[in-house]
Amino acid sequence: MSVTFAKGFTAAGIAAGISSVEGKKDLALVVNNGPLDAAAGVFTSNRFCAAPVQWSRKQVADGHIKAVILNSGGANACTGEAGYEQSKATAETVAGLVGAKAEDIAVCSTGLIGELLPLDHVLAGAKQAYAALADTDEAGADASHAIMTTDTKPKTVTLESAAGWRIGGMVKGSGMIAPQLATMLCVITTDAVVSAGQMQAALNAAADLSFNRIDVDGCMSTNDTVLLLASGASGIEPDADEFNETVAKACASLARQIIGDGEGASHDIRITVTGATTEDAALACGRAVAASNLLKCAISGNDPNWGRIVSSLGTVPEDVAPYDANKVTVDVNGVRICENGGAGRDRSEVDMTPREVHIDIDLNAGDAQATVWTDDLTHEYVHINADYES
Amino acid sequence: MSVTFAKGFTAAGIAAGISSVEGKKDLALVVNNGPLDAAAGVFTSNRFCAAPVQWSRKQVADGHIKAVILNSGGANACTGEAGYEQSKATAETVAGLVGAKAEDIAVCSTGLIGELLPLDHVLAGAKQAYAALADTDEAGADASHAIMTTDTKPKTVTLESAAGWRIGGMVKGSGMIAPQLATMLCVITTDAVVSAGQMQAALNAAADLSFNRIDVDGCMSTNDTVLLLASGASGIEPDADEFNETVAKACASLARQIIGDGEGASHDIRITVTGATTEDAALACGRAVAASNLLKCAISGNDPNWGRIVSSLGTVPEDVAPYDANKVTVDVNGVRICENGGAGRDRSEVDMTPREVHIDIDLNAGDAQATVWTDDLTHEYVHINADYES
């Protein structure tokens, strides 16, 4: 399913021998068969952004992308001119296969930083993937598997409007997830008839409220890429608001799935800050709490440790988020354990058994609010990121 | 030893029954017997600062402190007016014992946030500690033990100038350690003849280069307090530069000891950023790297993962730290594993067996530099902060 749910798209996911895991699907191809080839993208703001990001950002700027090739098993980041040439050669090969210019091909990579890709495998894999292209559910599913790294499951979304146009999407991402963007590759397809400008505006707004509001481990990646492709194959011009809302819904679903599969996570934590003077203030407070290792450890130990919540809130400068510490309340899973900046109901009353934990903070300073998501910090997270084979 | 190394000070550390650990020393008293009672202090910038911080910050403002009472076993943070009254009552009791005003008594607390102290134990303990006051090495050592929480060892410093005046100090701190300040209580004593203004300037500069440049887990505390007390008992007026340098040296030693005892740490990581346009730029880069959970996990797994170093560097905005990503070099333990922003020598050449790991980053953009310290992120850190009894 995933990207092939929208009409006009074919996809494939194959094992090209790029990943060090024998036989793992590691190369995906998504082709837009039109009639439109409109595209929009958002990318990592990391200054050490990877070669494929440098390539794709340039190509999506004119609003046209015909196909996207994505690989796991190597990030092609911090690989200099040689890395850039690899991304370019990959795009050229795909362009030759699909009958487009290299400038209409986006390239995405994910995996270890600092190493070049086995380019012969990538190029041979591109041909193999091209031969496997299909518009079936299975082809879409294969593509969503091929981009996984430490992900334990594929992450996809399908939405259909009442008018009949569709959105499909896939994302990978599990660790190195933080604003801005997460370590993630994401391709969202639609068969709606939309312009590149309209898509870019919709994607910017949607990413800001989804991928930019999740934080697994506070670490920004070099390879983050979110692409939105439109084929126009439904022949339907969508209501503008409905299109924006549906793109936002797709991104929110994919972002939520990333949090649900955060490295080693045993709890998904939703932090909602209300009563802020501005949305930015609410967001700054939410992000400060989401970044607290101590809180994330406490949650993994099933302790709703509100002291670690307010001590994180207290790091946000007053000019960023004006509030009175003596008026702050904190509810965890519906129990007000912090009242007026001090102890409220006993924290033993909080049921911490559900995977999803809700932290609701009321600053009592205004009417604005924001929600961010994070994961708890577990032994397994350390295991995944310390005990790997380097 | 510790605070009693400087002449004119007596100290004690006793078990007052504040800590939940049966028989643990949990109350320390440090008394300045003069002739001077000059004092300076720096405190957490957390907006949820604890009652003892609110009390002590006010009392040290006039440059006079006669005695400091410190407890582990409870932070008295987020405890509202009742908590403040506890700090005040504690100060009043000590004032009565040492023959001073309550306004000349500093109070420090460390432990769980959100609960009031068992005040009767604190006040009875103050009397017991007063009775135990001595200027001996043992009394100083007892005090340094009494302030420990998750610390595995006491942390003290003693320095003697050629002229004969002395500095002694003790600190506690292990987790919840980040700029600004660490979760720490610190008392430094000197028998030099110095003014409160001179001491405050020396302490500000010293803290900025020591306690504000360490980061165990990125979490700012509610209770951080660093006090510098002068008795003048040596009768010696120190050279101003030498005094500043010696205070800086004492703070640096204590900060280094905190990193050496970071919760669960298996490596102490020194990050030096050179070639920056300004010291602030170097510091921003150093702090970004020190905050990377992924890097800290990699180091705990003995992997000098330079990809995680440069991807953290890449999060620092260009207006904060101008540099060209293609000119950055990274050495780990003397091996240049990243050259011109890409792969350098093979990381298998790096000997990761020493506890101390040196990460040297050259931005090649200017002449300024800064050094920060952090710890690795281990299974044990998660264990300490997740599997405790709440």
Residue A280: pLDDT band with limits 50, 70, 90: very high
Nearest to B248 by CA among B212, B202, B213: B202
- For residue B237, what are its two tokens? 């007026």
Question: How many CB pairs below 8 A link A and B?
Answer: 203
Task: Check pLDDT > 80 for residue B178.
Answer: no
CB-CB contact of A88 with A49 (8 Å)? no
Name the residue of chain B whose CA is nearest to A48's CA: B314
CA distances to A346, B19, B44, B189, B269 from B164, in Å: 55, 39, 33, 14, 34
Task: Check pLDDT > 70 for residue B180.
Answer: no
- For residue A139, what are its two tokens? 């082809």
Residue B48: pLDDT band with limits 50, 70, 90: confident
Where do runs of H (alpha helix) occur along chain A? 51-60, 80-98, 119-132, 137-146, 196-209, 240-260, 279-290, 293-300, 306-313, 379-386
Nearest to A195 by CA among A156, A243, A160: A243
A24, exposed or middle or buried, with CB in 10 Å at 0-12, 13-18, 19+? Answer: middle
List, in sequence order, every residue forming a beta bridge with A361; answer none if it has no partner: A273, A330
How far B198 CA sits from the closest chain A CA (Å)? 29
Residue A127: pLDDT band with limits 50, 70, 90: very high
CA distances to A18, A74, A107, A146 from A119, in Å: 9, 11, 13, 17
B183 appears as a binding residue in the annotation: yes
pLDDT (0 to 100) of residue B46: 80
List, in sequence order, every residue forming a beta bridge with B361; answer none if it has no partner: B273, B330
CB-CB under 8 Å, A79 with B310: no
- For residue A258, what are its two tokens? 């990333």
Pairing of strands A9-14, A27-32: antiparallel
Residue B388: pLDDT band with limits 50, 70, 90: low
pLDDT (0 to 100) of residue B17: 96
Task: Check pLDDT > 70 for residue B263.
Answer: yes
The residue among A208 and A190 whose pLDDT is bigger is A190
Q: Looking up tokens 């669960």, which residue turns up? A: B264
CB-CB contact of B242 with B331 (8 Å)? no
Q: Looking up tokens 């003069």, which residue turns up? A: B34
Name the residue of chain B whose CA is nearest to A339's CA: B78
CA A150 to the chain's CA centroid: 14
CB-CB under 8 Å, B46 with A311: yes
CB-CB contact of A29 with A67 (8 Å)? yes
Task: Check pLDDT > 70 for residue B171.
Answer: yes
Q: What angle do CA A123, A126, A127 make, to 5 degrees?
A: 95
A183 appears as a binding residue in the annotation: yes
CB-CB under 8 Å, A294 with B48: no
> Best of A115, A345, A382, A384 to disrupt the B interface by mutation (most B CBs within 10 Å)?
A382
pLDDT (0 to 100) of residue A49: 86
C-alpha atoms less than 13 angstroms from C-alpha of A259 in its C-beta half-sphere? 29
Nearest to B289 by CA among A197, A218, A272: A218
pLDDT (0 to 100) of residue B390: 43
Q: What angle do CA B348, B353, B354 make, to 5 degrees?
A: 130
Task: Check pLDDT > 90 for residue B259.
Answer: no
Task: Check pLDDT > 90 for residue A220.
Answer: no
Residue B277: pLDDT band with limits 50, 70, 90: very high
pLDDT (0 to 100) of residue A214: 79
pLDDT (0 to 100) of residue B216: 63
Average pLDDT estimate for A42-63: 91
Positions of A marked catalytic: 183
Task: Check pLDDT > 60 for residue A179.
Answer: no
CB-CB under 8 Å, A80 with B340: yes
Q: Looking up tokens 């094992």, which residue turns up? A: A15
Average pLDDT estimate for A285-313: 89
CB-CB contact of A283 with A200 (8 Å)? no
pLDDT (0 to 100) of residue A320: 93
B210 appears as a binding residue in the annotation: no
A35, exposed or middle or buried, with CB in 10 Å at 0-12, 13-18, 19+? Answer: exposed
CB-CB contact of A250 with A269 (8 Å)? no
- The mean pLDDT of chain B is 91
Task: Check pLDDT > 50 for residue A390.
Answer: no
For residue B113, list chain A residues with Cβ-Cβ distance below 8 A. Answer: 306-308, 310-311
The residue among A18 and B114 whose pLDDT is bigger is A18
A208, exposed or middle or buried, with CB in 10 Å at 0-12, 13-18, 19+? Answer: middle
How far B14 CA sits from the closest chain A CA (Å)? 27
Name the residue of chain A whose CA is nearest to B76's CA: A342
What are phi and psi for residue B190, nearest 5 degrees?
A: -145, 150
Nearest to A219 by CA among B291, B361, B363, B221: B291
CB-CB contact of B268 with B296 (8 Å)? no
The residue among A134 and A298 whose pLDDT is bigger is A134
Q: What is the pLDDT of residues A81-112, one digit of tens each?
A: 999 999 999 999 999 999 999 999 999 999 88
Q: Which helix (H) or strand (E) element contains residue B159? A: strand B155-160
Task: Check pLDDT > 80 for residue A224.
Answer: yes
Q: CB-CB: which of A297, A298, A343 is closest to B115? A: A343
CA A136 to the chain's CA centroid: 24
Query: What 3 state SS string does B312-371 have?
Result: HHCCCCCCCCCCCHHHCEEEECCEEEEECCEECCCHHHCCCCCCEEEEEEECCCCCEEEE
For residue B221, list chain A residues with Cβ-Cβ distance below 8 A. Answer: 311
Average pLDDT estimate for B130-157: 95
Q: What is the pLDDT of residues A20-37, one digit of tens each?
A: 888 999 999 999 999 999
Average pLDDT estimate for A327-333: 96
A263 appears as a binding residue in the annotation: yes
CB-CB contact of A212 with A29 (8 Å)? no
pLDDT (0 to 100) of residue B351: 96
For the four alpha carbons of A198, A200, A206 and A208, in that order, the dihedral sign comes to negative
B385 appears as a binding residue in the annotation: yes
CA distances to A6, A168, A265, A283 from A254, in Å: 16, 11, 17, 20
3-state secondary structure of B246: helix
Q: What is the pLDDT of residues B288-301, one digit of tens each?
A: 898 888 898 899 99
What are phi and psi for residue B136, nearest 5 degrees?
A: -80, 165
CB-CB under 8 Å, A293 with B293: yes
CA–CA dist A130, A122 (Å, integer): 12
Where do runs of H (alpha helix) occur along chain B? 51-60, 80-98, 119-132, 137-146, 196-209, 240-260, 279-290, 293-300, 306-313, 379-386
Residue B217: pLDDT band with limits 50, 70, 90: low
Nearest to A188 by CA among A251, A234, A139: A251
A149 appears as a binding residue in the annotation: yes
pLDDT (0 to 100) of residue B183: 56
- For residue B357, what are its two tokens? 């790991």
CB-CB under 8 Å, A48 with B325: yes
CA distances to A295, B281, B328 from A13, in Å: 39, 44, 36
Average pLDDT estimate for B161-180: 80
CB-CB under 8 Å, A115 with B343: yes
What are phi and psi for residue A177, nearest 5 degrees?
A: -115, 115
Name the residue of chain A whose CA is nearest to B111's CA: A307
> Best of B176, B311, B329 to disrupt the A interface by mutation (most A CBs within 10 Å)?
B311
Catalytic residue among B183, B190, B222, B225: B183
pLDDT (0 to 100) of residue B175: 61
For residue B300, list chain A residues with Cβ-Cβ distance below 8 A. Answer: 382, 386
How far A89 CA sits from the closest chain B CA (Å)? 20
The residue among B215 and B309 whose pLDDT is bigger is B309
- The mean pLDDT of chain A is 91
- For residue A212, what are its two tokens? 């930019």
CA–CA dist A286, A209 (Å, integer): 13
For residue A114, list chain B residues with Cβ-Cβ distance below 8 A. Answer: 306-307, 338, 342-343
CB-CB under 8 Å, B347 with A47: no
For residue A220, list chain B residues with Cβ-Cβ distance below 8 A. Answer: 311-312, 314-315
DSSP A269: E
Pairing of strands B185-190, B225-230: parallel
For residue B219, list chain A residues with Cβ-Cβ distance below 8 A. Answer: 292-294, 308, 311-312
- For residue A157, what are its two tokens? 């979304």
Average pLDDT estimate for B150-161: 93
| Domains located in chain B, CATH noted | 2-260 (3.60.70.12), 268-386 (3.10.20.340)
Residue A8: pLDDT band with limits 50, 70, 90: very high
Q: CB-CB: which of B113, B291, B294 is closest to A385? A: B294
For residue B265, list chain A residues with Cβ-Cβ distance below 8 A. Answer: none
CB-CB contact of B73 with B19 (8 Å)? yes
